[in-house]
Structure 1
Amino acid sequence: MKKRLFSGIQPSGEVHIGNYLGAIKNWISLLDDYDCIFSIVDYHAITVEYSPGVMQERIINAAATNIAAGLDTDRCIIFVQSQVPEHTELTWVLNTLTPMGILERMTQFKDKAQQNEKNINVGLFDYPVLQTADILLYKGQAVPVGEDQVQHIELSREIARKFNTRYGELFPEPQHILSNAPRIMGLDGKNKMSKSMNNYISLIEKPDAIWKKLSRAVTDENRKRRDDPGNPDICNVYTLHKYFSTDSELDRINKQCRSAEIGCVDCKKILSENMVKELEPIREKSLELINNPVSVMDTLNAGAEKCRKIAKETMSEVRSLMGLR
């Protein structure tokens, strides 16, 4: 029997190549080895300020782009978190097992609190417990994450262990799976790629837009002139080449950069061409799905129906063990 895998998809706007390289490609590689459930986590998304009028559009876009990128719905379940109310019910139960001191030490809470000083809400503070409920509700055993989420999965294991000790064995202790590209830096070369930092390339970017963004991307800052030798080891553009260019291209660019045979503009042009080659089919399929939102919602509703059945069974077991019925 396959182990169950759970992961969340943020409906926070356009899906970018950081999501694609750091998460989606990893998920695709795991589809045949695990029983995979992916949730569009709209309850997580409302912990920061957002526009209610565009939430449904963002959910559709997130689903469409992930499906277009390779999440085959014949081999996995995709659904919207808020369509399964047991997520928040289990969160309340797990809150009673989670010390506040542990949540205060969560690195991501500190980072997000700094970014959202005017809206440091309880939901943001409690985010890791909802994330734990997301996983444990389906008795998830494997959770693919980036490095910044490992601390949350460690907390999930601790909460599962505490529940099992206090009330009886029920939840597996989830293990994290790190991607080969867990942290993709943005085009500024300084921060993780993100929509909020505006340092990203979207999966549905047009070819000319990809080139426009790449042309401004930060490279080796020590290379001031075209005839100065570069250092690919500290160049974020070269790092992106590793995911979109062939081994022979990588080797050639590495040598030519160090000897100043190739300049940053030409290096970026090669990357742009290779990016377009890989991303254009995804863009076309994404737009086709986005333009047919009823079909996308049918897929999400079918996924939610399957997940509600699992979630109801889990919560029935939880309440029974806790003496709540």
Structure 2
Amino acid sequence: MKRIFSGIQPTGNITLGNYLGAIQNCVKLQNEASCDCIFCVVDQHAITVRRNTGALKRSTQETAACLISAGIDPKNSILFNQSQVEEHIKLAWVLGCLTRVGWLNRMIQFKDKVGKSKDNASAGLWCYPILMAADILAYKATHVPVGDDQKQHIELARDIAHSYNFEFGTEFFPLPKAEILSKSFRIMSLCDGRKKMSKSDSSDMSRINITDNVDTIAYKIKKAKTDSYSLPSEASGLTGRAEAQNLITIYAALSNKSLDAAILEYGGCGFGRLKQDLTELAIEVIRPIGLEISRLMSNTDYIDNVLEKGSVRARALSKPIVREVYDTIGFLST
């Protein structure tokens, strides 16, 4: 049986891109009989960059509420927040001692995030991939659903797992595989079709948040950047037209159609009709989720209870795995 581990950071509003690119796919995986699913709100990863730490608890609850509202069932899957399970950090130190500095220096996301300010970046941001590996290996997860931008982190987790197995002459850790999701549906910014839709973008107009109301969704789609040409009738006509491709892609993803089918539907049309249909479809899909998030967040006791129960189940899985690692290393336990 496949054991799925998926982590999502509580770093702000969950966007339509997060939902279409990751969350709805996790819901589908959860409903596969052959999958054992673990979903983690990775709040310890969230402090690798400066943020309003006073809002972290609320963001953690909101992220959990979003996952539940989108269809993650905490009875069938394990849902918890990372900081409640100490095995993640305990394993990360051991794995860090097996990780080569050169491996971390090659991580593209670190370079992208720090730019020319490498010396001012936190050590936590640099070591982030080790903790991510520990998140996965603490449960002996076999598959990790990620986008293309996270694939390198899974490759590093495989290298670290292999390093441990080789060091101690064992096959203790499986080598996790990246389960690449939504290859055809990468959702980009509404302001710049060349940039990924991001909850950390300084402009709220660049994204549709799952919690946006009807008027806000309609306004953002109306103002979404376009070009002055009609929509093409085939995919090749989208070359060099990032914004057109993005809006067609969002429509295709929300309507569960292929990109080619969506293009045929709007070929030769202007953006007005597409934006109108996209607005109606986005509201139909997103608003029920947003309303359920608001209901859950009106009394967070339920969310806290779900995360507490989930952390108990997560510890039951990870504790014996990490204990065996500690025994193998030779740590004294009295």
Q: TM-score, normalised by structure 2?
A: 0.89
Choose which of 185, 189, 195 in structure 1 pairs with 2:188.
Answer: 185
Task: Return closer, same or farther for 1:63/1:116 CA change in 2, 3 Å cut-off.
Answer: farther
**Aligned pairs for 1:199-210 within 5 A:** 199-210=206-217
**1:171 maps onto 2:170 in alignment:** no
Q: Secondary structure at the match of 1:46?
A: helix
CA-CA distance at 1:290 after TM superposition:
1.0
The one-character-per-residue Cα deviations of 1:240-261 (angstroms, maximum 9, x if unpaired) are 1111237599857646542xxx
**Aligned pairs for 1:275-286 within 5 A:** 275-286=282-293
Question: Quick check: 1:109–1:125 contact (8 Å CA) kept in 2?
Answer: yes
Q: How many residues align?
A: 315
Match in the other structure for 1:16 = 15
**1:245 maps onto 2:255 in alignment:** yes
CA distance in 1, matches of 2:12, 2:262: 36
CA-CA distance at 1:171 after TM superposition:
0.7
Task: Return closer, same or farther for 1:210/1:156 CA change in 2, 3 Å cut-off.
Answer: same
**Aligned pairs for 1:124-135 within 5 A:** 124-135=125-136
Counterpart of 1:273, as a letter, is: E
Q: TM-score, normalised by structure 1?
A: 0.91
CA distance in 2, matches of 1:308, 1:316: 11
Counterpart of 2:165, as a letter, is: N
**1:30 maps onto 2:29 in alignment:** yes
Task: Return closer, same or farther for 1:36/1:115 CA change in 2, 3 Å cut-off.
Answer: farther
Q: Secondary structure at the match of 1:78?
A: strand
The answer to which of 197-206 and 99-108 deviates more is 197-206
Q: Secondary structure at the match of 2:198?
A: coil
CA-CA distance at 1:265 after TM superposition:
2.5
CA-CA distance at 1:119 after TM superposition:
4.6
**1:87 maps onto 2:88 in alignment:** yes
CA distance in 2, matches of 1:99, 1:212: 49
Percent identity of paired positions between Structure 1 and Structure 2 = 40
CA distance in 1, matches of 2:259, 2:96: 51
Question: Quick check: 2:249–2:259 contact (8 Å CA) kept in 1?
Answer: no
Aligned Cα RMSD in Å?
2.0
CA distance in 2, matches of 1:246, 1:92: 43
CA distance in 2, matches of 1:218, 1:153: 34
The one-character-per-residue Cα deviations of 1:272-314 (angstroms, maximum 9, x if unpaired) are 0011111111111111111120110000000001111222211
Question: Quick check: 1:245–1:271 contact (8 Å CA) kept in 2?
Answer: no
Task: Return closer, same or farther for 1:171/1:253 CA change in 2, 3 Å cut-off.
Answer: closer
Counterpart of 1:92, as a letter, is: W
The one-character-per-residue Cα deviations of 1:108-129 (angstroms, maximum 9, x if unpaired) are 1111112976851111001111
Counterpart of 2:153, as a letter, is: H
Counterpart of 1:47, as a letter, is: T
